[in-house]
Structure 1
C-alpha cells in the first residue's frame, strides 16, 4: 500500500503539536506500506524515519507563512503553481490513501477524482470553532464594529468544515468532543468520522521520576507553539494572573515558557513578568524534568492538548482549565488540578506544594492515564482500524 500525506509544515523533527501528530500518523501508516510526506513550508527533512520519504513543494519556497497569504479565514488558498506541483506528485506517486492535514489544506481533496486514492482529512482542531473563540475574545466594541465581517468569516470557516467532510472519504478528529463539535448534520456513516487520539510526543519521559520532593518546590513549565493564538493568550494569563498569586505566597517560584517561534508579544510578557523563555528548544525532556507543575490556563482552541499528555507522561502535575483538558476524559482531582483561570490554578499549586505526597499521587495517576490511552501503540491500533474500516466501506 502507498500512502501520501500532505502537511503544512515538515513534521521532522516533530517539535510542535501539529508536527508531533503528523509524524505519529505517518509512523503508524508505515505498518501498511510506503509513506510519502509532502509539506508546503520548511525544508526537506534531514533524516525521516524508515519507510517514510519527505518532499517539500518547491514552488512554495520563500513565500512566507501561508496564513499571511490567504484571504480565507481557515483554508490555505493554494496558488496555481503550488497546486500543480502537488497534483504532479500525487499522479506520479499513485497512492492508495491520501491523508490531508486539517482544513488548511483541504483544497487538495479536489484532486482525488482525477488522480485516485481514498482520502482522509485529519482535523487537528475544529478551526471554525477556534476562529469563533478568537472573535469572541475581542472586546464588545471590536466585535460590534466589525460584526458583519466577523459573522461572514465564521460562516466561511463553517462552510469549509462541511465541504471538506463532504469531499473526503473519511474524517479524523482528536476527540469525541471534536466529533460532536464538527456536527455534520444527519448522522454520517459510522465509519466516516474517526477519533484518532493525539500521542505522547516522546515516550522516554515516562521514565522521569515521580517523588514527593519534586513537588515541594514551585517550579512550573508551560510548553507549546508560541506563535499559536491560544498559547499566546495562555502566556498572557500566566503573566497577568498567575505570577501575582505566586509572588504573594512568599514562596520561591519559577516559570519556564518554552516553544517554537514565539511572537514578540510572548517575549514581552516573559520579560516583564519574570518568566524564563526558552525559544525553539531542541529537546523537551530536560525542561520537563526540571519542573513539578504544568500550568495550562487555556481559554481557546480545539483538538486535544498534546501539551497536557506530554506533561502528564513526564510526571508533572497538570494544572489546567476546563478548556485545556477538553476531550481527554480526565477526572479533576484525580488526574489533574482544575481551576477556572490562571489565578485559581496558582493558588492550588501553592497549596499542593505544601502537600507533596498528594501532588505525587496526582502525577502518578496522570502518567498512567497518558501511558494507557495515548502511547504510540494505542494510536497505531486506532489508525490501522480506521484505514481497515475505510477500505471495507469503500471497496475497490
Structure 2
C-alpha cells in the first residue's frame, strides 16, 4: 500500500470552518486508500483527543498521529522568527515554520519515512516543502491550496479599514512571493476550482489539479416546505465573513425587514466579534458556534451572501444548495461553482439588488422551488465521497507517473 504523510496547520476538530471541513474530508479520503500518517500543528482550542479517536475509527493508530504544539515562544524562537520575518516571511506565516516545527517534521520523516506522497495542507505548511524534499527526495510533493492566498489579500485590502490597508498591501507582496516559490517547487498543486487553477498556473505551478470543495449530502436533506428566516452562515473570525455580515445587517436588512415581517435575520457561525454581536436585537440573532447549520437552513426562506472578498469556493453555497435553500449572492460568492443566474441562484451586487431578489423570493414560491431543485441537483455532483475517490485516483496516478520517470532517469544514467 502506498504511504502518505499529510501535514496540517491545525487539528481539524472541531470542524466548524470551511477550511477544517475540507481538511477533515480529504484526510478521510486519504485514510481509506493509503497507509496514512498525519503531522499536525496543535493549537489552543483544537480537539486533539477527538481527532485521535476519529482517526482510530478510520483504522489509523495513535502512533501515526504526530502532533507538534505551538507553545509560548522561547527567546531563541523569537530570534529565529524575527530573522525569518526580516528575510521576507509573511507575518502570519512565521510561526508555522518555526525551528521547533521543522525539527519535529524532520524527526517524523527520519523515523517514519520514506513516504510516496507528502500532502501539505494550506500554503502555511508548504513553507516546509524544502525540508521534505531534502529528507524524502523521492516523494511526490503536493500542496492543497484552499485559497489563492495572495489573491485573497489583494481583494481584502481595498475593503479593509484605512489604517489596515498599508499592512495588507505589504503582507500581500510577501505572501505572493512565498506562494510563487512554493507552487513552483511542488510536484502537484490542488485547487478548489478551475478559476483558482488558472491563477496558480500563471504563478508557475507545474501541475495543477482541481479537487473541489464538497458537501455531506445526508446532512442536508431538501426541505418539504420553505421557511421564513434570512440566514448567513460562516465563521465570523474570518474577516470577509464579518464584512459580509455587517453589510447585510446595515444595508440590506433595513431595505427588506418590513417586507419580510415574519422573518428573522440569523447570523450563524463561530467566534462573532464585537462588531457582529452589537447587531443583535429581537429580529437579528447571532448564534455563535452551533453543532450543525442544517436546522437553521431548514427554517430559511433564503441565504444571502454579500461577500466582497475571498478565494477558493464557498462551502456555505454548497450547503445551502444541498438543503434546497434559495441563494442570493454576489458573483464572487459563487465564483468557481457551475451556477447559472436565475437557474441555481439569484445574483446581486448592491444592497438594492439584494433587496429586490429577496422580495422576489418572498412573492414567488415557484421561483423558490425551481432554484432549490436545480441547486440541489448541482450540489449532488459535489458529494465528498466522489471527491475523495477522485483524490485517491489522482494520487495513485501521480505516484505511478513519478515512478516511471525515476525508472527512465535511472536507465538513462546507466
> What is the TM-score when the length of structure 1 is the normalising length?
0.88
Residue matched to 1:11: 12
Distance 1:344-1:107 versus aligned 2 partners, 3 A rule: same
1:240-251 matched pairs, under 5 angstroms:
240-249=250-259, 251=261
Q: Distance in 1 between matches of 2:282 and 2:190?
A: 39
**Displacement after TM superposition at 1:87 (Å):** 2.1
Residue matched to 2:210: 195
**Displacement after TM superposition at 1:303 (Å):** 0.2
Distance 1:366-1:32 versus aligned 2 partners, 3 A rule: same
Contact 1:10 1:45 in 2 (8 A): no
1:179-190 matched pairs, under 5 angstroms:
179-184=197-202, 189=206
Residue matched to 1:381: 389
Q: Distance in 2 between matches of 1:305 and 1:26?
A: 19
**Displacement after TM superposition at 1:343 (Å):** 4.0
**Displacement after TM superposition at 1:4 (Å):** 1.5
Residue matched to 2:159: 137
**Displacement after TM superposition at 1:50 (Å):** 0.7
**Displacement after TM superposition at 1:111 (Å):** 1.3
Distance 1:51-1:250 versus aligned 2 partners, 3 A rule: closer
**Displacement after TM superposition at 1:84 (Å):** 0.9
Q: SS at the partner of 1:299?
A: coil
Q: Distance in 1 between matches of 2:152 and 2:340?
A: 24
Q: Distance in 1 between matches of 2:358 and 2:364?
A: 10
Contact 1:206 1:367 in 2 (8 A): no
Q: Distance in 2 between matches of 1:367 and 1:350?
A: 22
Residue matched to 1:153: 171
Distance 1:342-1:115 versus aligned 2 partners, 3 A rule: farther
**Displacement after TM superposition at 1:386 (Å):** 2.0
- 2:317 equivalent to 1:283: no
1:215-230 matched pairs, under 5 angstroms:
217=228, 219-230=229-240
Contact 2:180 2:203 in 1 (8 A): no
Q: Distance in 2 between matches of 1:140 and 1:222?
A: 26
Distance 1:391-1:250 versus aligned 2 partners, 3 A rule: closer
Q: Distance in 2 between matches of 1:288 and 1:232?
A: 19
Q: Distance in 2 between matches of 1:9 and 1:260?
A: 17
**Displacement after TM superposition at 1:209 (Å):** 1.9
Residue matched to 2:218: 204
1:1-396 matched pairs, under 5 angstroms:
1-40=2-41, 41=43, 42-46=46-50, 47-48=53-54, 49-52=57-60, 55=65, 57-61=67-71, 71=85, 72-73=90-91, 75-77=93-95, 78-94=97-113, 95-116=115-136, 117-138=139-160, 143=165, 146=166, 151-184=169-202, 189=206, 192-200=207-215, 202-211=216-225, 214=226, 217=228, 219-249=229-259, 251-269=261-279, 271=280, 274-372=283-381, 374-395=382-403
Q: Distance in 1 between matches of 2:323 and 2:173?
A: 40
**Displacement after TM superposition at 1:362 (Å):** 0.5
Contact 1:210 1:363 in 2 (8 A): no
Contact 2:126 2:143 in 1 (8 A): yes
Q: Larger Cα Rg: Structure 1 or Structure 2?
A: 2
Q: Distance in 1 between matches of 2:327 and 2:210?
A: 23
Q: Distance in 1 between matches of 2:210 and 2:346?
A: 25
Contact 1:226 1:261 in 2 (8 A): yes
**Displacement after TM superposition at 1:329 (Å):** 1.8
Identify which range, 127-136 or 89-98, moves more after superposition: 89-98
Contact 1:83 1:108 in 2 (8 A): yes
Distance 1:75-1:90 versus aligned 2 partners, 3 A rule: same
Contact 1:246 1:253 in 2 (8 A): no
Contact 1:59 1:85 in 2 (8 A): no
**Displacement after TM superposition at 1:11 (Å):** 1.5
Q: SS at the partner of 1:365?
A: helix
Q: Distance in 2 between matches of 1:268 and 1:255?
A: 14
- When the two chains are superposed, the root-mean-square deviation of aligned CA atoms in Å is 2.5
> Number of matched residues?
378
> What is the TM-score when the length of structure 2 is the normalising length?
0.84
Q: Distance in 1 between matches of 2:271 and 2:236?
A: 6
